[in-house]
Amino acid sequence: MLLALLLACVQPSDTPAQPAVADLLVPEYQRTMSELFLLDSGRHDMDDILGGITAALPGYTQINFITNAGTRPEFLRDRTHRIVPDSLPRTLRDSPQFWAQDVFQVISRADGTRTLVLPKGEQFQPEAATVLGELGYDTRTSQLVWEGGNISGDVVGGQSVLYIGYTIYEGQSERAENPGVPLEDVQRTLAEEFEVDEVVPVPYVSASLFHLDQIFLITAPGEVVVHSLSLDGSEAMIRDYTREQDNYFYKVYVDSLGPEVPPAAHAEGYLDSLPRLQAYASQHALKMQTRLDEVAALFDQRGYTVHRLEADPRQFWDRLSLVNGVPYVDRETGEKVLLLPEYTNHKRASFADMHRAKELFESLDYTVRFVPVLTGSGGGGPHCLSNVGW
């Protein structure tokens, strides 16, 4: 019943006749990486990561760097770039300051026109808007709050669609970004603002997989890669994982404590609660597995070719997603390229997992390039950190 409800979608009915929007919109996987937006992090470690991303790009790519700093980072020295003088985000509650994907979404059209849509509460300063206008972008601010990593678009069979994550459309829980706004109103508003035929809500998976770009990657019209979860040997794995320092469930436990519990008592209380937390971890893993299967079923019922990329629960609890990639088409060679994350500083990083992801995406005719990214400090993957203009 829940999945059937989530599959419901709304089409705007009061708009005047116009060319089919599907003929106008260019999905991310069809863009040519001619321009890429990055945000100034203010952190030297993140500058190294952004430099690794730019080093993997075609020589023709222009970097549009959003910063209010008076200096330019070293990684821009030998790259064509424009400075967009601004500082974003200002209001997004959870996104790190350097996640360019979250602070706006790009509507790229086949006629060469482009619009940056910002979530409610965000806007560019006049000087930045002037630079963006010179680059061929107009800007608008949404009536709703959202983070761009929780939005994904596609054009299939002459119909354009926008997939949206749980926090955008669920209006009742503490996670809600638009509290009290009915699902139908969210769909109608976003369909108009993003110029799409329909808006489809995607089922909730987990607080540790809080954006759609951690869960699936649309790779071609009607083709998607959705993560799956393996529970083989999960009992021993969960027992060992929950004994690691600063594991996901230790953080869940600490967050559940009131301010009256001093930090010095956290570890002892966690160890006393370990059997209960291990049982909870097993249930949590099973729920993630079921919900990821529901996401895959949603796409299957919509006629997609669905591919699955397996992971184990620890990767998701530690926010290591190998679908958090950036697809594009090289405009000089026509080659389909995918930038995937190489989690260089994490004990869970696995060459076997990277190889499995590489083989899958290569079977879909992509050339895969791995770029180093950080974890454990809100670093995010390459899709979190960048935003393709066109």
- Going by pLDDT thresholds of 50, 70 and 90, the confidence category of residue 1 is very low
Nearest Cα to 122, choosing from 88, 147, 86? 88
Residues 84-112: what's their mean pLDDT?
82
Query: How does DSSP assign 160-222, residue by residue?
Result: EEEEE-HHHH--SSTT-SSTT--HHHHHHHHHHHTT-SEEEE----BTTB-SGGGTEEEEETT
Contact (Cβ atoms closer than 8 angstroms) between residue 374 and residue 50: no
For the record, the structure tokens of 55 come out as 């080093």
Contact (Cβ atoms closer than 8 angstroms) between residue 225 and residue 152: no
Residues 194-208: what's their mean pLDDT?
94
Q: Report how far apart, in Å, the C-alpha atoms of 233 and of each of 309, 313, 378 are.
A: 18, 11, 29
Pick the more confident residue, 346 or 27: 27
What is the CATH number for 183? 3.75.10.10
Name the least confident of 15-29, 34-48, 152-166.
Answer: 15-29
Backbone angles phi, psi at 170, to 5 degrees: -85, 115
Residues 91-119: what's their mean pLDDT?
85
Residue 32 scores a pLDDT above 50: yes
Number of domains observed in the structure of the chain: 1
CA distance 13 to 275: 54
Helix segments in 28-83, DSSP class H: 44-55
Q: Tell the residue number behind the tokens 């200096």, with chain if given.
A: 71
CA end-to-end span of the chain: 39
For residue 350, the model assigns a pLDDT of 77
Domain that holds residue 166: 2-10+19-388
Number of H helices, E strands in the chain: 13, 16
In this structure, which amino acid lies at residue 109? R
